[in-house]
């Protein structure tokens, strides 16, 4: 079959359309960046998940950390004493940053975490920003595999700010829209 | 591929109202048109549309890698200098993308020819993914289509899967934004948001005009929350030349489609693709336009033109067609003229949807002229077994 098995609408229709198998309970996700298992437990109260997430991140760090040909290049990005020599198992050695934290994300349903989690190693660069391997490094499914060590920033910045002006976008809009 | 006249569902307007499809008629002109459909064989779909779409998508992404490493290419695509490093960085980070649409000239004979990539702000999504799907189910149930008819359309499933896959790479809060007064664009983001919520992502909507800027250069919503990620159904190249554009590179705002899509939603990609893959069966010869008279057999398109605006076409037989629009002054490309084929006096353009990196469906827009504009109507399609097709034709 070349078409979708269902075509559900949750919000656009007055009543959920063609939705049979799923319930409508609110789901969301909880994400955190932690520098230790203890900090994770303090936040989530879930020691088992935090330990597993840490262990998985540490294991993944060996394969997904950014790779540098030498220590100097690595330290230029991640700071002094923040890099270690690694080996990919095929006698190629390279340098990569030390894991300085881990990222944990869990789906919530009705406020409680569901089974399973995603975790990733986190690295702090020498300007204080946090990064983790891009999700695109995972191949299969609707996305092709990307470069395994592409890094994405973790947005750990404070998330409120006073707005000073609006209407800086939209000048070229009209009622027929912009679509192509 | 055939155009088949068929009976409309008597209650389709009620069904459209029920699912929030408000723009089936635009300015009193029909947009959704189910008085006919296009019938394809499975071979036409899989070999002539699906496989080439996947291949061209890979070629396009490979081309991004080349462009970000070349000041000359950035210049050819007229990417403003202040945005070049930001765009290149967004590619190096592989900032997640969601969807795009390729437009093809195809009539069932010979290879589909790529007209352009709509990789930044593609619309006609809801009607392709949902309403067309519902049409097929209803017409199958009502016996208007041969039993076993199918449709190339897993757009919905692919969207939910794509949102689920990139969910943890989307910064929060996550908002969908479009021009306030465009019913069509608002409908498109409403549908995308619906799919995102179904993938478990908490998100809201915002008029593009309501986006704010803080004194330290971060983008805010109406509650003064700093926007983490913005899905903007609004052209990147327009954002670049607007008042808030200059804040984008240093604002920390994540965009979907990401900045690197500015390289693909640009007609300049067409000559670059042709240079790299000269003679590819799905590509038309293309070159950057140096101005001057447009010879017979060529079409002139601005780098940034949407909805068929500002296109000049000089047909082999000497006829010249021209559309008006707002994209008068910018640089252009030329593409070899490969006119659409008429079906009962209608000119169908095939929109092939790519969600994530998967070719997952088509939507057909039909116009009464060779240049498909915003006057085009959306006509559904079905995959019909050849032998049965002959019986009902």
Q: Looking at A88-92, B243-247, B342-346, B387-391, which range is the least confident one?
A: B387-391
Mean pLDDT of A56-79: 86
pTM score: 0.76
Instruction: Assess contact for B361 and B328: CB atoms under 8 A.
Output: no
Mean pLDDT of B185-205: 93
Cα(B384)–Cα(B382) distance, integer angstroms: 6
| List of chain A residues whose C-beta atoms are within 8 Å of the C-beta of residue B90 | none
Backbone angles phi, psi at A5, to 5 degrees: -75, -30
Of B184, B197, B242, the CB nearest to A171: B242
Check if A139 contacts B (Cβ < 8 Å).
Answer: no
Cα(B303)–Cα(B64) distance, integer angstroms: 16
The alpha carbon torsion through A145, B124, B196, B227 (nearest 10 deg) reads 90
Mean pLDDT of B291-297: 93
DSSP state of A110: T
Of A133, A179, A146, the C-alpha closest to B357 is A146
Q: List the beta strands (DSSP E) in B109-148.
A: 113-118
Two tokens at B15? 């069904």
A residues 72-111 lying closer than 8 A (beta carbon) to B: 105, 107
Q: Looking at B31-40, B186-195, B369-378, which range is the least confident one?
A: B369-378
For testing contact with chain B, the best of A132, A142, A158, A165 (most B CBs within 10 A): A142
| Beta bridge mates, A177 | none
Check if B321 contacts A (Cβ < 8 Å).
Answer: no
Q: Is it the case that residue A176 has pLDDT exceeding 70? A: no
Cα(A50)–Cα(A179) distance, integer angstroms: 45
Calculate the alpha carbon distances from A35 to A48, A87, A156, B87 in Å: 16, 24, 12, 31
Check if A140 contacts B (Cβ < 8 Å).
Answer: no
| Location of structure tokens 């723009």 | B23
The phi-psi region of residue A64 (left if phi > 0; otherwise alpha if psi is between -120 and 50; otherwise beta) is: alpha
Domain limits, chain A: 28-160
Could B218 and A151 be called an inter-chain contact, meaning their C-beta atoms sit closer than 8 Å? Answer: no
Contacts of B21 (CB under 8 A, 6+ apart): B32, B126, B127, B130, B131, B187
Cα(B389)–Cα(A159) distance, integer angstroms: 58
> In Å, how far is B380's CA from the nearest CA of chain A?
13
Q: What is the pLDDT of residue B136?
A: 94
Could A166 and B212 be called an inter-chain contact, meaning their C-beta atoms sit closer than 8 Å? Answer: yes
DSSP state of B124: -
Cα(A74)–Cα(A20) distance, integer angstroms: 52
Q: Is it the case that residue A171 has pLDDT exceeding 60? A: yes
Cα(B121)–Cα(A77) distance, integer angstroms: 35
Q: Looking at A20-34, A36-50, A150-164, B109-123, which range is the least confident one?
A: A20-34
In Å, the largest CA–CA distance within chain A is 61
Work out the pLDDT band at A139, boundaries 50, 70, 90.
very low
Work out the pLDDT band at B333, boundaries 50, 70, 90.
very high
Q: Is it the case that residue A151 has pLDDT exceeding 80? A: no
Cα(A56)–Cα(B166) distance, integer angstroms: 20
Cα(A178)–Cα(A59) distance, integer angstroms: 46
Of B364, B380, B377, B378, the C-alpha closest to B101 is B364
Average pLDDT, chain B: 94
Q: What is the pLDDT of residue B149?
A: 93
List alpha helices for chain A, DSSP H. 37-44, 47-64, 71-78
Could B179 and A9 be called an inter-chain contact, meaning their C-beta atoms sit closer than 8 Å? Answer: no
Cα(B301)–Cα(B330) distance, integer angstroms: 10
Could B208 and A173 be called an inter-chain contact, meaning their C-beta atoms sit closer than 8 Å? Answer: yes
Two tokens at B392? 């009902």
Tens-digit pLDDT profile for residues B216-272: 999 999 999 999 999 999 999 999 999 999 999 999 999 999 999 999 999 999 999
Q: Is it the case that residue A107 has pLDDT exceeding 90? A: no
Two tokens at B363? 């939507």
Of B96, B161, B357, the CB nearest to A144: B357
Q: What is the pLDDT of residue B367?
A: 94
Three-class SS state of B388:
helix
Could A173 and B234 be called an inter-chain contact, meaning their C-beta atoms sit closer than 8 Å? Answer: yes
| Location of structure tokens 């947009």 | B31
Q: Is it the case that residue B93 has pLDDT exceeding 60? A: yes
Q: What is the pLDDT of residue A2?
A: 92
Cα(B196)–Cα(B192) distance, integer angstroms: 6
Cα(B53)–Cα(B351) distance, integer angstroms: 10
Could A4 and B133 be called an inter-chain contact, meaning their C-beta atoms sit closer than 8 Å? Answer: yes
Q: Is it the case that residue A24 has pLDDT exceeding 80? A: no
Cα(B99)–Cα(B359) distance, integer angstroms: 10
| List of chain B residues whose C-beta atoms are within 8 Å of the C-beta of residue A173 | 179-182, 208-209, 234
Cα(B131)–Cα(B137) distance, integer angstroms: 10
Tens-digit pLDDT profile for residues B150-184: 999 999 999 999 999 898 889 999 999 999 999 99
Calculate the alpha carbon distances from B116 to B110, B124, B166, B305 in Å: 18, 16, 26, 10
Contacts of A150 (CB under 8 A, 6+ apart): A133, A134, A136, A137, B92, B93, B94
Q: How many CB atoms lie within 10 A of CB B174?
A: 21
Of A142, A178, A180, the CB nearest to B355: A142
Tens-digit pLDDT profile for residues A84-99: 888 766 667 888 888 8
Could B182 and A164 be called an inter-chain contact, meaning their C-beta atoms sit closer than 8 Å? Answer: no
């Amino acid at each position: 079959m070349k078409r979708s098995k269902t075509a559900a609408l949750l919000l656009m229709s007055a009543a959920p359309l063609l939705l049979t198998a799923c319930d409508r309970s609110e789901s969301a996700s909880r994400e955190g960046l932690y520098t230790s298992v203890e900090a994770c437990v303090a936040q989530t109260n879930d020691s088992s998940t935090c330990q597993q997430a840490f262990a998985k991140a540490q294991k993944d760090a060996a394969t997904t950390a950014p790779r540098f040909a030498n220590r100097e290049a690595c330290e230029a990005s991640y700071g002094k004493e923040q890099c270690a020599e690694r080996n990919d198992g095929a006698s190629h050695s390279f340098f990569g940053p030390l894991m300085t934290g881990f990222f944990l994300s869990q789906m919530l349903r009705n406020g409680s975490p569901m089974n399973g989690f995603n975790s990733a190693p986190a690295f702090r660069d020498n300007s204080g920003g946090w990064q983790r391997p891009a999700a695109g490094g995972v191949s299969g499914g609707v996305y092709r595999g990307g470069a395994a060590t592409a890094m994405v920033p973790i947005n750990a910045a404070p998330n409120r700010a006073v707005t000073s002006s609006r209407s800086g976008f939209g000048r070229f809009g009209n009622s027929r829209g912009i679509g192509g | 591929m055939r155009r088949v006249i068929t009976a409309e569902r008597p209650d389709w307007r009620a069904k459209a109202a029920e699912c929030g499809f408000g723009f089936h008629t635009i300015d009193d002109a029909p947009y959704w048109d189910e008085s006919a459909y296009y019938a394809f064989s499975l071979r036409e779909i899989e070999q002539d549309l699906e496989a080439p779409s996947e291949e061209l998508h890979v070629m396009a992404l490979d081309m991004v890698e080349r462009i970000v490493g070349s000041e000359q290419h950035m210049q050819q695509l007229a990417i403003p200098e202040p945005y070049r490093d930001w765009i290149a960085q967004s590619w190096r980070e592989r900032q997640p993308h969601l969807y795009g649409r390729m437009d093809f000239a195809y009539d069932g004979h010979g290879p589909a020819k790529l007209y352009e990539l709509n990789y930044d702000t593609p619309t006609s999504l809801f009607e392709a993914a949902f309403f067309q799907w519902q049409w097929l189910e209803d017409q199958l149930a009502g016996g208007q289509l041969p039993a076993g008819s199918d449709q190339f359309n897993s757009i919905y499933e692919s969207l939910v899967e794509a949102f689920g896959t990139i969910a943890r790479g989307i910064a929060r809060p996550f908002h969908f934004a479009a021009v306030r007064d465009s019913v069509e664009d608002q409908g498109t983001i409403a549908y995308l948001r619906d799919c995102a919520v179904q993938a478990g992502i908490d998100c809201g909507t915002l008029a593009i005009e309501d986006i704010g800027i803080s004194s330290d250069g971060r983008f805010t919503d109406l509650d003064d929350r700093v926007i983490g990620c913005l899905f903007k159904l609004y052209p990147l190249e327009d954002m670049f030349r607007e008042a808030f554009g200059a804040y984008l590179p240093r604002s920390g705002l994540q965009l979907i489609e990401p900045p690197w899509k500015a390289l693909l939603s640009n007609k300049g990609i067409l000559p670059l693709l042709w240079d790299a893959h000269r003679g590819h069966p799905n590509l038309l010869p293309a070159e950057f336009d140096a101005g001057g008279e447009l010879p017979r057999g060529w079409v002139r398109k601005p780098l940034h033109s949407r909805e068929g605006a500002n296109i000049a076409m000089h047909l082999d037989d000497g006829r010249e067609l021209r559309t008006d629009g707002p994209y008068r002054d910018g640089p252009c490309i030329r593409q070899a003229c490969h006119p659409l084929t008429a079906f009962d006096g209608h000119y169908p353009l095939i929109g092939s949807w790519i969600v994530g990196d998967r070719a997952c469906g088509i939507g057909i827009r039909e116009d009464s002229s060779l240049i498909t504009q915003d006057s085009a109507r959306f006509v559904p399609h079905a995959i019909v077994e050849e032998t049965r097709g002959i019986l009902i034709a």
